[in-house]
Amino acid sequence: MRHKFGYRKLNKTSEHRKALFKNMLNSLIKYEQITTTLPKAKELKPKIDKVITLGKREDLASKKNLFTQLQSKSSVDKLIKILSQRYEKRKGGYSRVIRAGFRYGDDAPLAVIELVDRDEQAKKVDIKKKPEETTKDSPAEKSKKKKTTSKKQAK
């Protein structure tokens, strides 16, 4: 029987576990899909559901509670403005855990945890868009430009 076994310790101290889940919650809110080990994903699922439910209550106290849990203003803003409207009619089950094989090095079971009805563009938040291809001048063209500017200045 598993009585009084409340959660997985994940072979970490309580402070390390707390920091780990705070960082994973912030990443999941930002990217809306992350890959991690299966036990971490299973432990994260109820936490993200509770955070989204707290974000649906749009009052100051819940906003402060969210900030104490996440300690990231951008995550709290996204939760309140975007995710709370997306899951307005849903009563729970905001995330899903999908098994994703085994890790190469240590054969640990991997899982993908994602938000239901997620935004596909959220994964590309940090990818910088390439600037427009500017015409790169060759050294000969640069010298021509210098000559023309120096002629204009002489006049």
pLDDT, position 145: 61
Contacts of range 115-124, beta carbons closer than 8 Å, 24 or more positions apart = 115/28, 115/32, 115/33, 115/48, 115/83, 116/90, 117/86, 117/87, 118/32, 118/33, 119/32, 122/30, 122/31, 122/32, 122/33, 123/31, 123/32, 123/33
Q: What residue ranges define each of the domains in the chain, with the CATH number in brackets? A: 14-125 (3.90.1030.10)
Bridge-based pairing of strands 109-115 and 95-102 is antiparallel
pTM comes to 0.79
What's the pLDDT score for residue 137?
60
Q: What is the pLDDT along the chain (155 residues), one digit of tens a residue?
A: 989 888 889 999 999 999 999 999 999 999 999 999 999 999 999 999 999 999 999 899 999 999 999 999 999 999 999 999 999 999 999 999 999 999 999 999 999 999 999 888 888 888 887 777 655 565 666 666 666 665 556 65
**The pLDDT of residue 93:** 93
- pLDDT (0 to 100) of residue 155: 55
